[in-house]
């Protein structure tokens, strides 16, 4: 069977429709012509199912591959992903995204495609905004959104992207019926009273004991408890009480991410979670569904990182975050603040 | 026992030398006076072993702690670390670094200190240059260098920093006796010849098969094999052979880190290692001591990231890198290029 290379397509005749499309769903029939993308054609050439000509000259694999690489951006990456998906037994068609992939046992004409697969090089940063619009496009037509990331050695990792509407089990009742005094020291807040310290630590897992009597609160915990009227905060330098705005300004000067972290903290608490620092995992928070007893601390379910809307994912960094979360049996989520509230983006590694 | 707060010291009399220094190695005797740092004094106050006065007025814990926090930068952090070390049973003395820590069973006057401990907040980035001069200072007096990193919730993680002189077991003989043709496509290099592909992949674990016949090389692998005269590289666009300089320029435009990665790659190969991409771990390389057979791939020993001399560690990022390396039973090393060659800095989590 012969196909002709024309611009960024390879075109073949009626026989190809019978032998390539009807049996393997390669290409798209257009009247009596079967139109193949460059990756499809390269794969069929590799499988010895197609001969490709340019100006009546037959091209070898090397020649065609090199030519295709010049005619289409990211051709090699797309070829690597296409070949991998085909060899895993999926039927694949090109689409507005890189590929539409049919479910196992399904194929064009019989079933709907199941996934939109986007091919990405690990070297090219990925804008959160692009990711979200691609996710929405997939969601609109009820497709799963999959990223296929190709590393410098052409190894492939697949990630599913979805939004997660998460809920915890922690009652949000706040401890204390009188306001607890606290002091803002250099970059953390201390509760001095023994009873209040135990109350806050044991109901809601706030802070960390400095010793048996006193409790240290992180900046986000302090702001939250201040806003809820549970504590009042004295500035140790000015020796004056601070309100949430003043406290937030101090916190912001210590930690530029403060407001973003704080808004996510408040949202997680209101969803019934117990968020604690995720420092050891390199994320803003590790998150518990529920903490009934601090002496029998449960496994934390999520690692959550609060990111701005204009965030750019560096893919090796994202890869490391997801990999680490999985290695400690947690789910990696990114929290993004929109006018309508905070949304959680779940990027999880999947086996295809 | 009474101590007087004077600037950033607390001073006590002869009785304190007997009861605090001679039994617990708190403070430094200076004639008839025992001089305590603010963290030592706060700890003794907490243990009810000392009363502290300022202008003849006795200070409670809250008052002294708040006052100390105003008089010394990072006082709370240092207190948290000091208290932790003391409670683990170590004798601790202040030093030009934050603390000198004595070995278990040892104490001032009997033994030398074993470690220099540096206290760091997770929020404050750490300059590689500072880290290295601190390491050298510790090394000069044969001390172990330890970082104590305090996170926003006052949780502590200890890391030992050292230089590692690593050696692999891989014979560095290069395959092939004639130059193998390769093509630079968009951002990777392809070997088309079946025999050459197998030779390079199976001897030295170069590249990744595109299929049974062809091999893809990463940019650093390509540059290395080009420099060694094993391959020659044709630029698919200019249809001309490129030399190492031309290739490096192309690679640099694709990957701004290229030269740093390449120099580390060459050094690792010359040390008898097999470096492959560490993308899935978020580092430049995963490194094998030896690869005898690609069908029985051994466990890789190291994750290595090449960093510039003016590198700044963001501690949550460093924490994640080390944590991930440990979770997959590998050692995290940072490769730094100096005029004298590449040095490997080992930052490993330790239990105190």
Q: Where are the domains of chain B?
A: 1-72, 171-255
Q: CB B284: neighbour CB atoms within 10 A?
A: 25
Place of tokens 């891989």: B170
Residues in chain B within 8 Å Cβ distance of A66: 183, 185, 236
Interface contact B69-A185, CB threshold 8 A? yes
User: What's the CA angle centered on A181, arms A176 and A184, to 5 degrees?
Assistant: 130
Tell me the sheet residues that pair with A36.
Answer: A10
Residue A299 among the catalytic residues:
yes
- Nearest by CB: B254 against A62, A123, A277: A123
Q: Is B341 left (phi over 0), alpha (psi -120 to 50) or beta?
A: left
**A148: nearest Cα among A129, A136, A134:** A134
pLDDT tens digits, A313-329: 999 999 999 999 999 99
Q: Does domain B171-255 have CATH number 3.40.1170.20?
A: yes
CATH of domain A1-72: 3.40.1170.20
Interface contact B153-A190, CB threshold 8 A? no
Query: Tens of pLDDT along chain B (352 residues)?
Result: 999 999 999 999 999 999 999 999 999 999 999 999 999 999 999 999 999 999 999 999 999 999 999 999 999 999 999 999 999 999 999 998 899 999 999 999 999 999 999 999 999 999 999 999 999 999 999 999 999 999 988 899 999 999 999 999 998 667 667 899 999 999 899 999 999 999 999 989 999 999 999 999 999 999 999 999 999 999 988 889 999 999 999 999 999 999 999 999 999 999 999 999 998 899 999 999 999 998 999 999 999 999 999 999 999 999 999 999 999 999 999 999 999 999 999 999 999 9
Look up residue B337 and give its two tokens. Answer: 């290029």
User: Three-state DSSP class for A168?
Assistant: coil
Distance CA B165, CA A25 (A): 56
Q: Are A216 and A210 in contact (CB under 8 A)?
A: yes
Look up residue A206 and give its two tokens. Answer: 């706030």
Supply the pLDDT for residue B176: 65
Interface contact A323-B70, CB threshold 8 A? no
Residues in chain B within 8 Å Cβ distance of A151: 277, 279-280
Minimum distance, in Å, between the CA of residue B74 and any CA atom of chain A: 7
Catalytic entry in A26, A90, A288, A344: A288
- Nearest by CB: A188 against B154, B157, B283: B154
Q: CB A265: neighbour CB atoms within 10 A?
A: 25
Catalytic entry in A11, A201, A284, A330: A330
Interface contact B283-A316, CB threshold 8 A? yes
Closest B-chain CA to A327: B327
ipTM of the complex: 0.89
For the domain A171-260, what is the CATH superfamily, name and number? Answer: tRNA intron endonuclease, N-terminal domain (3.40.1170.20)
Look up residue B109 and give its two tokens. Answer: 């006057």
Q: Is A351 left (phi over 0), alpha (psi -120 to 50) or beta?
A: beta
Residues in chain B within 8 Å Cβ distance of A283: 316, 320
Interface contact A323-B323, CB threshold 8 A? no
Q: Is the dihedral of CA A56, A57, A63, A65 positive or negative?
A: positive
Closest A-chain CA to B280: A319
First to last CA, chain B: 31
User: Three-state DSSP class for A169?
Assistant: coil
Look up residue A6 and give its two tokens. Answer: 């024309």
Minimum distance, in Å, between the CA of residue A325 and any CA atom of chain B: 9
Q: Are A237 and B70 in contact (CB under 8 A)?
A: yes
User: Three-state DSSP class for B202?
Assistant: helix
- Nearest by CB: A281 against B76, B208, B323: B323
Q: Do domains B1-72 and B171-255 have the same CATH topology?
A: yes
**B352: nearest Cα among B161, B125, B42, B101:** B101
């Amino acid at each position: 069977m012969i196909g002709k290379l024309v611009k960024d397509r390879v075109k073949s005749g009626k026989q190809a429709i019978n032998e390539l499309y009807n049996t393997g769903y390669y290409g798209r029939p257009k009247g009596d012509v079967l139109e193949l993308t460059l990756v499809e054609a390269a794969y069929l050439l590799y499988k010895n199912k197609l001969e490709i000509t340019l100006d009546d000259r037959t091209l070898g694999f090397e020649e065609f591959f090199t030519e295709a690489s010049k005619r289409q951006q990211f051709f090699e990456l797309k070829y690597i992903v296409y070949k991998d998906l085909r060899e895993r037994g999926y039927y694949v068609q090109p689409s507005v995204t890189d590929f539409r992939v049919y479910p196992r046992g399904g194929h064009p004409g019989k079933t709907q495609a199941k996934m939109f697969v986007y091919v990405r090089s690990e070297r090219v940063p990925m804008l959160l905004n692009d990711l979200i619009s691609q996710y929405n496009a997939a969601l609109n037509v009820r497709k799963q959104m999959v990223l296929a990331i190709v590393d410098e050695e052409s190894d492939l990792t697949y990630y599913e992207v979805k939004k997660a509407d998460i809920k915890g089990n922690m009652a949000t009742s706040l401890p204390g019926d009188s306001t607890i005094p606290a002091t803002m020291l250099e970059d953390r807040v201390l509760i001095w009273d023994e009873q209040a310290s135990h109350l806050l630590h044991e109901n809601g897992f706030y802070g960390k004991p400095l010793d048996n009597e006193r409790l240290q609160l992180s900046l986000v915990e302090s702001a939250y408890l201040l806003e809820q009227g549970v504590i009042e905060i004295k500035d140790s330098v000015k020796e004056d009480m601070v309100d949430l705005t003043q406290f937030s300004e101090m916190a912001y000067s210590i930690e530029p991410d403060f407001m973003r972290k704080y808004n996510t903290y408040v949202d997680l608490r209101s969803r019934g979670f117990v968020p604690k620092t995720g420092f050891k995992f390199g994320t803003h928070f590790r998150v518990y569904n529920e903490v009934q007893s601090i002496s029998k601390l449960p496994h934390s379910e999520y690692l959550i990182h609060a990111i701005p809307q204009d965030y750019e994912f560096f893919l090796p960094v994202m890869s490391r975050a997801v990999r680490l979360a999985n290695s400690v049996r947690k789910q990696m989520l990114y929290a993004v603040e929109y006018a309508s509230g905070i949304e959680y983006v779940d990027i999880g590694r999947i086996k295809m």
